[in-house]
Amino acid sequence: MAPPASSRRPRRPAPELLFGDLWPYDPAPETADPRIRPEYDLFIGGRFVPAADGTRFTSINPATERPLTELARGGPADVDAACRAAAAAFPRWSRLPGAERGKYLFRLARLLQDRAREFAVAETMDNGKPIRETRDFDVPSAAAHFFYHAGWADKLAYLAPGRTVAPLGVVGQVIPWNFPLLMLAWKIAPALAAGNCVVLKPASNTPLTAVKLAELLQEAELPPGVVNIVTGPGATGAHLLAHPLVRKVAFTGSTEVGKVILRSVAGAGKRLTMELGGKAANIVFADAPLDQAVEGIVNGIFFNQGQVCCAGSRLLVQESVAERVVAQLRRRLRVLRVGDPLDKNTDLGAIVSREQRDVIRGYLRAGVAEGAELWQAPFRAPARGFYVPPAVFTGVTQSHRIAREEIFGPVLSVLTFRTVEEAVEKANNTPYGLSAGVWTDKGSLILRLATELRAGVVWANTFNKFDPASPFGGYKESGFGREGGRHGLLDYCAVT
């Protein structure tokens, strides 16, 4: 901001703002009962059954490192039983009038809303993400996906005008740990609306809300076998996706695992949707509304502790405002609250697991070793739990590992650019292409970048915005197929 012409005040070095504890917030823990049972079984054919070999595994709360519950460890035999149950349910389910299928989805959406607080607390305890996000984002968005697809169930005739759509059969779905309930809704809701039956394997770190949702499926009196949930390790997911009864594979997770899955199902004639990794560029031009851009940068990379496939993990900032944006960003990060995920005032919770925390720490070391400058917000770590305070790397170049590889943690790499061409070139210089952000006051520049950026989603003057009606998916190694909207639904249909 240039001072007005008439101001002739002598310049003094301005002291920094002081974000201390003159007025500290008291702890404000969310106290709703998550209603977690000590043991959960597999949900196959509408009933809860133990694993065929009787084994179990433990899910822990990453904020306390204490066990939450024991879950059945599903294996190949269980996957087979689940796929058979789904195949048995398919003829009747797929021939139900669309309006009838829609009723079940509406019922599920409402049940989820009724028990939103309970699911939010359970999700927070299982995943470590703050209650503010599960309460205001995960659970309402999951319900919104069921509502949206419930509306489609009796309107499939209008999905592809002039052509006929039909369900595919049994769908095998494997979901990640970063948005356990929401990813489940993204997968199950369109599959059911289109008339498919589902076998879903939640991530082994975060299976709790999936098995809790199985209880809702029972309560909604969904016909047995239409949705089956098999908890277990990654190998169980591989069995599921390779199972001969599975006609469609929907996977969300890392690019590395996605490639393994693609190899394993090659030539089997399965339909595939892959939503994989990302290394999104968030591009800030000098004419952008800077305070809102800083807010968007924070929302882009520190939402869900940065464990988001479309996270804006690379900040590309025009050099004339780079210094100011980074200073503003650090100031903003000083008031970001890291800590107990169940506290309603927490902005950043725990990392999902010890392994993931160690991966992130590894990248922090790699960034420093490669010569980038690391800044981390001041943070007093609790005695237990997997925490990483927000980290910002400056002086990053395109060849740094922290600028190329998906970290999946609260780590931002700051790069600068001078011209629009350079920004586009740097943004596209990645194997990934899931999302991107553009910050400028100039509408024509937004339109130009929306076409030049090779990314499935380009957000303009905002970041990390989702809607059930808006298709989501990637370019290049970020995967293929779309989720949400007409496009997402079409991926669960045979169009003739």
Partner 1 sequence: MRASSAPPALRRWFAAVGPVDRVGVEERVAKFTTRSIKKAAKVQGLKLAVSMVDLTTLEGKDTPGKVASLCRKALRPHDDAAVPAAAAVCIYPSLVRAARRALGPRSPVRLASVATAFPSGQTALATRLAEVRRAVADGADEIDMVINRGAFLAGELTRVRDEIAAVVATCGPAALKVILEVGELETYDHIRAASCLALGELRPGDFIKTSTGKTATNATLANTQVMLEAIRDHYLETGVAIGMKPAGGIRTAKQALHFLVAVKETLGDAWLTPARYRFGASALLNDLVRQLEKERTGAYPAPYAFSEAAESY
Structure tokens at 190: 């369109």
- The active-site residue out of 118, 133, 275, 483 is 275
Asked if 345 touches partner 1 (CB under 8 A), the answer is yes
DSSP 8-state assignment for residue 289: -
Asked if 269 touches partner 1 (CB under 8 A), the answer is no
| In the complex, minimum distance from the CB of residue 287 to partner 1, in angstroms, rounded to a whole number | 7
CB 223 within 8 A of CB 92: yes
Alpha helices in 71-138 (DSSP H): 76-95, 98-114, 116-127, 131-133
| In the complex, minimum distance from the CB of residue 165 to partner 1, in angstroms, rounded to a whole number | 36
Q: Angle at the Cα of 367 (from 362 to 370), degrees rounded to 5? A: 120
Of 111-119, 216-224, 285-293, 423-431, the window that binds partner 1 (rule: CB under 8 A) is 285-293
Q: At what angle do helices 139-152 and 98-114 cross, to 10 degrees?
A: 170
Choose, by CB under 8 A, the member of 103, 117, 330, 344 that binds partner 1.
Answer: 344
| In the complex, minimum distance from the CB of residue 484 to partner 1, in angstroms, rounded to a whole number | 21
What part of residues 103-132 is at the interface with partner 1 (CB under 8 A)?
132
Which candidate, 404, 425, 208, places its Cα nearest to that of 313?
Answer: 404
Structure tokens at 344: 């309603």
Asked if 73 touches partner 1 (CB under 8 A), the answer is no
The answer for residues whose C-beta is within 8 angstroms of residue 7's C-beta and 6 or more apart is: none
Choose, by CB under 8 A, the member of 157, 266, 335, 368 that binds partner 1.
Answer: 335
| Residue 344 amino acid letter | K
Euclidean distance between CA atoms 351 and 358, whole angstroms:
10
DSSP bridge pairs for 69: 59
Note the Cα 404 to chain centre separation in Å. Answer: 20
| In the complex, minimum distance from the CB of residue 433 to partner 1, in angstroms, rounded to a whole number | 25
Q: Angle at the Cα of 251 (from 250 to 254), degrees rounded to 5? A: 165
Choose, by CB under 8 A, the member of 39, 100, 256, 291 that binds partner 1.
Answer: 291
End-to-end CA distance of the chain: 60
Closer residue to partner 1 in complex, CB, 68/298: 298
| In the complex, minimum distance from the CB of residue 132 to partner 1, in angstroms, rounded to a whole number | 6
Euclidean distance between CA atoms 366 and 364, whole angstroms:
5
Closer residue to partner 1 in complex, CB, 25/158: 25
Binding mask 6-35 for partner 1 (x = CB under 8 A): xx-x-xxxxxxxxxxxxxxxx-x-------
| In the complex, minimum distance from the CB of residue 293 to partner 1, in angstroms, rounded to a whole number | 8
Euclidean distance between CA atoms 216 and 316, whole angstroms:
44
Asked if 378 touches partner 1 (CB under 8 A), the answer is no
Asked if 405 touches partner 1 (CB under 8 A), the answer is no
- Tell me, by CB under 8 A, how many residues bind partner 1: 42
| In the complex, minimum distance from the CB of residue 469 to partner 1, in angstroms, rounded to a whole number | 18
Euclidean distance between CA atoms 237 and 251, whole angstroms:
10
| In the complex, minimum distance from the CB of residue 252 to partner 1, in angstroms, rounded to a whole number | 26
Euclidean distance between CA atoms 40 and 69, whole angstroms:
8
Closer residue to partner 1 in complex, CB, 78/340: 340
Note the Cα 89 to chain centre separation in Å. Answer: 30
Asked if 3 touches partner 1 (CB under 8 A), the answer is yes
Alpha helices in 220-273 (DSSP H): 234-242, 255-265
Choose, by CB under 8 A, the member of 2, 31, 33, 380 that binds partner 1.
Answer: 2
Closer residue to partner 1 in complex, CB, 9/380: 9
CA distances from 364 to 168, 370, 436 (A): 44, 10, 23
Asked if 444 touches partner 1 (CB under 8 A), the answer is no
Binding mask 133-152 for partner 1 (x = CB under 8 A): ---x----------------
- The active-site residue out of 30, 118, 197, 309 is 309
Of 112-120, 149-157, 281-289, 400-408, the window that binds partner 1 (rule: CB under 8 A) is 281-289
Q: Angle at the Cα of 257 (from 256 to 259), degrees rounded to 5? A: 70
Asked if 287 touches partner 1 (CB under 8 A), the answer is yes
Annotated active-site residue 275? The verdict is yes
Choose, by CB under 8 A, the member of 195, 296, 390, 471 that binds partner 1.
Answer: 296
| In the complex, minimum distance from the CB of residue 31 to partner 1, in angstroms, rounded to a whole number | 12
Euclidean distance between CA atoms 80 and 207, whole angstroms:
19
Asked if 446 touches partner 1 (CB under 8 A), the answer is no
The residues annotated with a catalytic role in the active site are: 275, 309
Binding residues for partner 1, per CB under 8 A? 1-7, 9, 11-26, 28, 132, 136, 287-293, 295-296, 335, 344-345, 441, 461-462
